[in-house]
Amino acid sequence: MCPALRSFRAFALAPAILAPALAFGESLPEPVSGEISAETSFHAVLNPVYDDANGRSNELAHSLGLYRFQTSFSYGLSSSFALGIVGTYAANRYCCLNGIALSDSGFTGGGLFFDWSSGALAGRPNLVRLGYQTQRGPDNAVLPVSDGQDRLFLRSDWSILAWRRDQARLGMRLDLDYGPPFEIQKGYFRASAELAPQVPVVRSQGWDFDIVGTAGYLIATDARENGTIYHNRNSKQARVGAELDLGLGRHRRDQIILEAKHDFAARNALNGWRIGLTYRRRIGMGQ
Amino acid sequence: MHGAFAIPPAKIAALMVLGISLYRTSSAVTALIRGPYLQRPGDTAIAILWKTSSSNLGSVAYRPIPRAGQPRRDSGPSSRAQTAVTSLEPWKIAGETLAQDSHRIALHDLAPGVLYEYQVLADGEALSPTFRFRSPRCPADPTLAFGVIGDTTGGTVPAAIADKLSGAGVDLVLHVGDVVYPDGRLEDYDSNFFGPFAPLLSAAPMMPILGDHDIRTADGAPFFEVFDLPPNGLTPDPRFYSFRQGDAEFFCLDVESSEFGEDSDQYRWLDHGLQTSTAVWKFVTLFEPPFTSENSNVVERLVLSPLFERYGVDLVFSGHEHLYERTKPIRLFGPPGTPVVYIVEGGGGASVSNFDQESFSAFLAAVYGYVTVRIEERSLLLEAHDVSGAVIDSMTLFKPIGSNATGETCSAAAPPGDVRRPCAPL
């Protein structure tokens, strides 16, 4: 055996960087002048299958789990604008054969973003986030959590329809990602649109609780998740699910979002259950 | 009324002459428009296929060539006088019973590992010059040579490869996919594949797998119309198949149009086939490489590589990327399990790929070319060639008797151009 290969396993388990989003259509916080919004989120896809370009499902021989932790802080420059930073940690794990798991984990990169809020409908503002996130170069050749491709990203969360005395609303979330070409890697483009009807269940002085249904569709120039490029041809999939949105305190000072979604009609993409938990807190508001 | 049927002998003679002349006219315009080319429908048979411009009764004349004997190239089997004066065995004839323009004749009961010569006939008349092939080797035969090509298209590269490989004395050729660009259309097979590769296809069976371009027309229907491949017992078309040759077994997979996940028929078929194989050498072909410095297919890596390691696959051949690459032996899930060397040979004529050589890569060259593998007893020599036939990389595998473990040495010839990071010999 060539000497360099003797350490291949150790090399395969070495930490690496970067993690494109496991989720799309995530809700955004509203800028509040002079306040900080802190957010931490966890998203995962558990034991997915891979559906090829013709929709044929390929069950993986072992259990694949992809995990992403993301933390961001934004500061409200005004009631319409906020400036923020984001950092991402990711882990991939494929387990187990002969007691061996292929895994990779590490900080994948960080970025800056700019939030803009314009008007409101049904008590929810229209929000746009524009940002840039760097990605560390991959140093794991098996299941890297980093693809090394920096990104421009756009997130938007708009209310396009309101009803029930302006309480319920239909939201539209649009996401765009673009990673310019580098080295031999072609440019990466990802776009998704998600409809999110939001229905209030509880509105009270101290807390409110909403249920949000989601139905979205994603297209991308290749099949990649959490840094690993599974296949380099065009990819697409639908995703349907629900979010439980709990707001606590005055003006939803604390917010917890629990989500569960499932992929459908995947073509050259992973297909499975996706879960997410987001905690958001405003610091300085009303204090 | 009886008298109405009485035909004078002179008229009978005239009709016979007319009939013979019509027959000869028909035969004279019959031309080969494809082939002949060899296929391996089974472990012990050779099939000879060809296509003619008109319908006729096809047949194949064949005979073994004595080791010391050199047949006269112009002594076709249709000339019985010439056959009679040679010291060779008499020609055997295998023929069709129905006239047609697409011909397929399987030759059975061939002596194993023997050089044969053959000629295809139309209505008993010679249609081709004589060609040679080596009959399938028996499982006990420790000797085997085969070539590997992939992504064949365009310009002079395929013809140059065919010229070099047909003179290399290989028993068979593996094609790792993208046989016909751009869309695998039936009308492109003759101009893009059978034409340039004619010298090679008449001398050695070509065992292809589907590439992404090959399935763009009717999910690969033209591919199965022209190739005659071993059945797998599971699917109507042999999209994946295996065959034995000498002490080597080949597992030819379809990752473009068939499921290969753990719950798929192909996965179970491969698992069972590798597990029960008694061959010393095991090889796999699949179109998209699980490991390459351009675009690896990670799904294959997660699903299929564990099987390759568990059952001791020696070499995995892929195409798709237009370059030659050899990885270091890779073992992700062991021990137990054996390291696997992954070979990419996609230099069959499509514009060469860019790459950023990965750490698992032992040798890489973005050049046109082909691979030859020669097995002698427990030793395997892999050589990568450019289109001139020059060796640009080589590797030797050894298998100690009584052991499944594979020893390996790596070496590289002086690299041309963009070859980087050759694997140092141990």
Model confidence over B179-238: pLDDT tens digits?
999 999 999 999 999 999 999 999 999 999 999 999 999 999 999 999 999 999 999 999
Domain ends where: B92, B115, B134?
A: B134
- Report the b/e string of B88-117 with b at 16+ CB within 10 A: beebbeeeeeeeebebbbebeebeebebbb
Note the Cα B267 to chain centre separation in Å: 23
Residues B191 and B55 occupy one common structural domain: no
Look at residue A24 in the predicted model and tell me its pLDDT. Answer: 74
The reply to whether residue B362 touches residue A2, judged by beta carbons under 8 angstroms, is yes
Lowest mean pLDDT among A215-224, B51-60, B321-330, B403-412: B403-412
Distance CA B317, CA B340 (A): 11
Predicted TM-score (pTM) of the model is 0.85
Write A83-87 long-range contacts (CB < 8 A, 24+): A83/A112, A83/A113, A83/A114, A83/A115, A84/A37, A84/A112, A84/A113, A84/A114, A84/A115, A84/A131, A85/A110, A85/A111, A85/A112, A85/A113, A86/A110, A86/A111, A86/A112, A86/A113, A86/A131, A86/A133, A87/A111
- Is the per-residue pLDDT at B76 higher than 90? no
Which domains are present in chain A?
8-283 (2.40.128.130)
| pLDDT confidence bin for B291, thresholds 50/70/90 | very high
| pLDDT confidence bin for B298, thresholds 50/70/90 | very high
- Is the per-residue pLDDT at A10 higher than 70? no
Output the CA angle A184-A186-A190, nearest 5 degrees: 150
Look at residue A97 in the predicted model and tell me its pLDDT. Answer: 79
Look at residue B336 in the predicted model and tell me its pLDDT. Answer: 84
Residues B217 and B71 occupy one common structural domain: no
Residues B166 and B270 occupy one common structural domain: yes
What is the DSSP-derived secondary structure letter of residue A67? E
What is the tally of structural domains in chain B?
Answer: 2
Lowest mean pLDDT among B206-220, B305-319, B390-404: B390-404
The verdict on residue B103 lying in a domain is: yes
The verdict on residue B67 lying in a domain is: yes
Residue A55 CB contacts under 8 Å (≥ 6 apart), including other chains = A265, A266, A267
Residues B147 and B82 occupy one common structural domain: no
The CA-atom distances, in angstroms, between A271 and each of A46, A230, B134 are 9, 12, 48
Query: Three-state SS for B176?
Result: coil
Lowest mean pLDDT among A63-77, A215-229, B25-39: B25-39
For range B157-178, the mean pLDDT: 95
Residues B189 and B98 occupy one common structural domain: no
Domain ends where: B134, B165, B183?
A: B134
The verdict on residue B22 lying in a domain is: no
Placement of tokens 């929709």 in the chain: A55
Domain ends where: B134, B160, B191?
A: B134
Residues of B in contact with A8 (CB under 8 A): 328, 330-332, 360
- The beta strands (E) that lie in B169-280 are given as 172-175, 206-208, 241-245, 248-252
Give A86 to chain B, closest Cα distance, Å: 28
- Is the per-residue pLDDT at B340 higher than 80? yes
Distance CA B328, CA A129 (A): 45
Structural domain boundaries enclosing B267:
143-411
Mean pLDDT of chain B: 84
The verdict on residue B96 lying in a domain is: yes
| pLDDT confidence bin for B41, thresholds 50/70/90 | low
Q: Domain holding B318: CATH number? A: 3.60.21.10
The verdict on residue B16 lying in a domain is: no
The verdict on residue B186 lying in a domain is: yes
Look at residue B88 in the predicted model and tell me its pLDDT. Answer: 74
Percent of chain B that is helix, strand, coil (3-state, to 5): 20, 30, 50
Specify the length of chain B in residues. 426
Residues B240 and B358 occupy one common structural domain: yes
Residues B130 and B158 occupy one common structural domain: no
Question: What radius of gyration, in Å, describes the C-alpha atoms of chain B?
Answer: 24
pLDDT digits (tens, 9 = 90+) for A37-87: 999 999 999 999 999 998 999 999 889 999 999 999 999 999 899 999 999
Look at residue B276 in the predicted model and tell me its pLDDT. Answer: 96
A48, A52, A55, A61 alpha-carbon torsion, rounded to 10°: -40
Tokens of B358: 């990965």
- Is the per-residue pLDDT at B11 higher than 60? no
The verdict on residue B12 lying in a domain is: no
- Is the per-residue pLDDT at A20 higher than 80? no
The reply to whether residue A5 touches residue B295, judged by beta carbons under 8 angstroms, is no
- Amino acid B267 reads Y
Residues B117 and B157 occupy one common structural domain: no
Residues B207 and B124 occupy one common structural domain: no
Q: Domain holding B104: CATH number? A: 2.60.40.10
Residues B213 and B302 occupy one common structural domain: yes
- Is the per-residue pLDDT at B8 higher than 60? no
Residues B80 and B223 occupy one common structural domain: no
Query: Three-state SS for A189?
Result: strand
- Is the per-residue pLDDT at B373 higher than 50? yes
| pLDDT confidence bin for B409, thresholds 50/70/90 | very low
Residues B61 and B154 occupy one common structural domain: no
Residues of B in contact with A147 (CB under 8 A): none
The verdict on residue B172 lying in a domain is: yes
ipTM: 0.84
Give B327 to chain A, closest Cα distance, Å: 10
The reply to whether residue B298 touches residue A230, judged by beta carbons under 8 angstroms, is yes
Look at residue B42 in the predicted model and tell me its pLDDT. Answer: 66
Cβ pairs A/B, distance under 8 A? 108
Mutate to test the interface with A, among B256, B258, B259, B325 (most CBs of A within 10 A): B259
- Is the per-residue pLDDT at B392 higher than 90? yes
Outline where B323-375 has alpha helix (H): none
